[in-house]
A and B are shown apart, each in its own frame.
Chain A
Amino acid sequence: MSQIQDMKKEYSKMVEELSPKSNLLRDSARAFWVGGLICAIGQLITNIIKSFGYNHDEASMLTTIILVFLGIILTGLDIYDSLGKYAGAGTVVPITGFANSIVSPAIEYKKEGYVFGVGAKMFTIAGPVLVYGTIASVAVGIVHYFFK
């Protein structure tokens, strides 16, 4: 038994040595500038909306809607996946990436029908984000109630 464990350990070392490593510096640089740019665009949109006389909360809400829309359009036009390949977390982490993770399974599973395909598969990737985000917000709210 321990012989097998030793073999597995030794093999996993071999695999580790031979598997090429991602280029962290390059990947991070790409994630930084693309992710930063998306945020700066978000800031620009917010400022433009504010210049029309909307208050801060309204402006950030509308910004979210617009960014979600942009993420979805770029996904539909077959552009966001190429962006993601280049920028990695730079396109995954912004809210546009959240939109991409909702629309991409929706498009992919269209052939399985509009209810069990589009409807059911839409949240296969983003669902956990809503589940854990919602639970975290409730927990924070309850803690806030008792300790404010």
Chain B
Amino acid sequence: MEYIKAFIVGGAICVIGQILIDKTKLMSGRILVLFVVLGAVLHGIGLYEPLVNFAGAGATVPLPGFGYSLAKGAMEEVDKMGLKGAFTGGIKSTAAGITAAIVFAYLAALIFNPKAKD
């Protein structure tokens, strides 16, 4: 059951992205920015956490989940250590993903070359 929930919610978030791509001619980079900010704001007003509880990876794997993690980290750090937590919590809670992306991308650049399309 939880796989079906993850599938449907995750798929639905992607469909929203697809509608934006097809209808607005926004480049995918802008849509990613929009989604990350949206995830952070939705968590700020308490709306994203219920979605994560319901759909698990269906809500955390898409980009709004990244915004959610950033905002959640910032809010938790604020609770623990006051205002300065707003500056440390976000990146701290997402450090694993960002670091993994940098390190693996670097290694991939060492190994792989771009290939032409046909």
Contact = CB atoms under 8 A, between A and B. Distances in A.
Direct chain A–B contact by Cβ atoms under 8 Å = yes
Given A28-B18, A39-B62, A42-B60, A103 B8 contact: no
B33 A132 contact: yes
Q: How large is the interface on A (under 10, 10 to 19, 20 to 34, 35 or more residues)?
A: 35 or more
* Most A Cβ at <10 Å: residue of B32, B60, B115: B32
A88 B23 CA distance: 13
Contacts of A40: 3-4, 6-7, 10, 57-58
A138 B10 contact: no
Contacts of B21: 27, 88-89, 92
Nearest to A117: B109
Given A35-B10, A141-B71, 13 more contacts: A24-B18, A35-B62, A36-B58, A39-B6, A39-B9, A40-B3, A40-B10, A68-B100, A73-B104, A95-B66, A129-B33, A136-B37, A137-B91
A103 B100 CA distance: 11
A93 B59 CA distance: 11
B19 A103 contact: no
Contacts of A137: 40, 67, 70-71, 73-74, 86, 89-91
The 6 A-B residue pairs with the shortest CB-CB distance in the complex, in nearest-first order? A39-B10, A35-B14, A141-B86, A36-B11, A137-B90, A141-B74
B47 interface: no
29 contacts: A22-B22, A31-B17, A32-B15, A36-B8, A36-B10, A37-B7, A39-B6, A39-B11, A39-B61, A40-B7, A43-B56, A68-B100, A87-B14, A88-B18, A89-B14, A89-B31, A92-B21, A94-B61, A104-B114, A110-B114, A129-B32, A133-B94, A137-B67, A140-B41, A141-B74, A141-B78, A141-B90, A144-B78, A145-B78
